[in-house]
Amino acid sequence: MKRIDLSDYLVHWTKPVEDMTALDVLMKIINERKILAGNGMIKGGFNCICFTEAPKNIFHNVEKNNARYHPFGICVPKIEIFRLGGRPVIYQQTEEFDLLHESQQWRHVTYDPFTNIDFTWEREWRLHRPQFNLEGTIAEIIVPNEDCHSQLLNEHQYNEEWRIWGDIVGYGDFAGFQEPNDFPFRIVSLQNIQE
C-alpha cells in the first residue's frame, strides 16, 4: 500500500557553511558529484550523510518551518541509500545511546519530549560513509524557484565553456571539437510543486 505521508525518495538539504550560501554548497556538491559526510550534532562524532524522508509535497515548507534548512537539496531514491547501508535514525533519550550496539550508535538522535528536544518531524535517515557519490545515480536537484533553476544551468554552461577553452589551450588541435555536456541531473523547482 502506497502511503502519502512517506516518500520513496530521500533528500539531503543544504545549508550555509562558513562563507558559502546553501546554493553555493549545492553547486559544489553538483560540481564534485559527491556529498561529503559530517558529524555536526551527531552524538559520538560519527561521520554520516543525513537525509530526510519528508515527501515532495511538503518540501516547499522546509525553509518556512525551520531556518536550519534551506530549500536547496539533492533527492535520491531511498532504495539506493538503503543498499549502501543507510537507515532511519533511532529517536531515543540520551541515556539510551549506550544501550545501542556500537555498530548502530551512529543512528542515535536524541528525543526527549519532557525537555522539548524533538526532531522526529525530520524523519531523518543517515548513511554512515565518508561520502555518497552522485555519479551514476538517479538524483534530482531541488531548488526553491525558477530563478535558481536558471542560475544552476547558467553556472553549468559557464563551467563547461571554461572546461572546453582549457582543453583547447592545453591540447590545441588535439582537443578536437567539443560540445558542452548537458546538466547531469533533473532539476525540480519547489515553486512548481507548490502550484
Q: How far is CA 84 from the centre of its chain?
A: 15
Which H or E run contains 31?
helix 22-32
Tell me, yes or no, whether 96 lies in a domain: yes
For 111, the domain range is 9-142
Torsion of CA 135, 186, 149, 5, to 10 degrees: -110
> What predicted TM-score, i.e. pTM, was given to this entire model?
0.87
- Torsional sign, CA 86, 90, 94, 96: negative
pLDDT tens for each residue of 105-134: 999 999 999 998 888 888 999 999 999 999
pLDDT tens for each residue of 134-143: 987 788 999 9
Residues 93 and 125 in one domain: yes
Looking at the structure of the chain, the number of domains it has is 2
- How high is the pLDDT of residue 100? 97
Which H or E run contains 191?
helix 190-194
Residues 152 and 137 in one domain: no
Tell me, yes or no, whether 58 lies in a domain: yes
Could you tell me the mean pLDDT of each successive run of 10 residues in the chain, 195 residues long?
77 93 94 95 95 72 63 94 98 96 97 89 94 87 94 93 85 78 91 69
